[in-house]
Amino acid sequence: MTSYPGSHGPPPEPGAESQPPRPAFKLQDFIILKTLGQGSTRYVSATRLVKHKPTKTIMAMKVCAYGIRRHERQELLNDLVSMHTCRSEYVVSIYGVFYQNPDVAICMELMDKGSMRQIVEATGPLDLGVIRTVAFSILSGLVYLYDAHGIVYGDLKPTNILCNSKGEIKLGDFSHSMSRWIEEGITASDEGAFLYYMSPERTSLEHVSPTLKSDVWSLGIIAIELAHGEYPMSQYHTDGNNGITFLNFAIAISTKAAPKLLPEGRDPSAEAFIDACLLKDPNTRPLPNELLTHEWIERSKDYNTDMEAWANSF
């Protein structure tokens, strides 16, 4: 096992509680408290709750990159170095990276309330005030990643949107460059999850890379899912045997009307926001920074939802 020099980083910003000191990590400096989950792909083997003994910081440790070639592993590490420099209240912090031969261990900020997928499965549909704050946080994270680091998230879905007990909503597992390593090992179930939030232009026969506007489409689908308590386009993902087919989805997303927030008239401003996210033509679909000025998002300044109280209600 070799300590990875990329785990060194600048000191935290004053008052930034989510940014502990960043030493060169090594496995013997951690106490493994419990396993939070097993990986869904052959490149993510486990996520663990750990305590970093020198700083007494509780973190999440994701063990990944099992089975990839040495030069690919180095490319992954290089990508993580870039992600490690991100400093935003809307993006999960990466504290350090080190080899745990033959794997790579990524130490990151603990989001103890889990993902939006887990939350909706536990609580059912969310209040629109909560969803508005979630949307604001996602948009702010997307804008930060692109403006500060030139990163297009490219893999927006409820499992990658995380919450902590303070009610903070953050993007996790970000950077499409990192996602490509995971996608190479996806199972049939994972492939479906990846397709569910793909924009119409990305389902075309031509290879279209993710963009800020494709992330906006994903946000629209996610907002409806959080409001309804279930994925809004599941009828297009079956082959008759509960199988997931790319062809079914690609045809449906190109020919069927985009889903709507129901019931209609529930909140016209929220409906207008989601409709804007789900414009099929990416040329007319707004960018994240434009959506931050949308009336529905702006209303959060006047009707502030107590996210901490909400996060501690489940």
How many Cα atoms sit within 13 Å of 259 on the Cβ side? 26
Residue 198 has which token pair? 């793909």
Residue 215's identity, in one-letter code, is D
For residue 231, what are the contacts with CB-CB under 8 A and spacing of at least 6? 196, 221, 225
Residue 132's identity, in one-letter code, is R
Decide if 306 is catalytic.
no
What 8-state DSSP symbol labels residue 287?
A: P
Q: How far apart are CA 62 and CA 72, in angstroms?
A: 18
Active-site option among 29, 79, 103, 155: 155
Residue 231's identity, in one-letter code, is Y
Phi, psi dihedrals of residue 150, rounded to the nearest 5°? 70, 25
Residue 62 has which token pair? 């994701």
For residue 249, what are the contacts with CB-CB under 8 A and spacing of at least 6? 195, 196, 198, 203, 233, 236, 237
Beta partners for residue 64, in sequence order: 44, 104
Burial of residue 63, with CB atoms counted within 10 A of its CB: 0-12 exposed, 13-18 middle, 19 or more buried: middle
Which residues have a catalytic role annotated? 155
